[in-house]
Amino acid sequence: MERTLGLIKPDAIAAGYTGKILDRIIQAGFLLRGLKMLHLTRPQAEAFYAVHRERPFFESLVEFMTSGPIVAFVLEKENAVAAYRDLMGATDPAKAAPNTLRALYGQNIERNAVHGSDSPENAQREIAFFFSESELIPLQTPTLAAI
């Protein structure tokens, strides 16, 4: 079993898609191991997206991610990182496969509804950014979705 981090971004929350997105994730066989809603501060957003600091979209990304609340969650499944990335779809919703989260709920390449870790190593780092171990349900413990 593997863990990955997911985020529901401010655009999807403002549009009222939080429940629909979480339902699709659970229906796809993922187990939720942690879940919280928060409003990122500018320093938090800058730290989380530091890998993109030199990219031209960094400033607008930070501005967007601090514009409203987000939902952070930890998912568990075999090959969770790849499976969640498949469920999310391409970064640009216009290029995302039909019925993926971004095709269904994203507005454009910047306001694309969801984030997911891009590797198991980054998943560990990103999960630790948002959650302490005590906030997570242990691996392979049954949850309501599994019962």
Active site residues: 115
Q: How far is Cα of residue 98 from the mean position of the Cα atoms in its chain? A: 19
Structure tokens given for 142: 């049954």
Residue 61 CB burial class (10 angstroms; 0-12, 13-18, ≥19):
middle
- Measured from the Cβ of residue 111, the count of other Cβ atoms closer than 10 Å reads 17
